[in-house]
Amino acid sequence: MADTVRYHMEEMVPELEDLQRRGFFSAAELKQIAAKRTNFEYLLKRRAPLKADFLRCDMFLHKFVQRLFENSSSFECCVSVAS
C-alpha cells in the first residue's frame, strides 16, 4: 500500500512544481496540500475505506479547485463552460 501511495505522490510532483512556477501557490502551501493528499491516499487505499473518507477527499479537492480559481484570473480562459 505504501508503495502505491508513494508512486501516486511522485507522479504529482511535476504538476505541483508547475503550479508553484506559475504562481498559483507558494511552496509552503503546496507542502501542506501534498501532506493532506498523502493522508487521503492512505485512507482510501486501506483495506476497507469508509464512505466518509471519500467524502472528505472530495471536499478537499473541491476546495483545492476553488482556491486555484481564486488565485488566478488567467486560468478562467482555459476552462470552457457548457451552457
The predicted pLDDT at position 68 comes to 86
pTM over 0.75: no
Confidence class of residue 62 from pLDDT cuts 50, 70 and 90? very high
What would the mean pLDDT of 12-40 be, rounded to a whole number?
91
Alpha carbon distance 20, 22 (integer Å) = 5
DSSP string computed for the chain: -HHHHHHHHHHHHHHHHHHHHTTSS-HHHHHHHHHHHHHHHHHHHSSS--HHHHHHHHHHHHHHHHHHHHH-SGGGGG-PPP-
| 54-79: average pLDDT | 80
pLDDT for 74 beyond 60: no
For the chain, give the percent of residues with pLDDT over 90.
Answer: 47
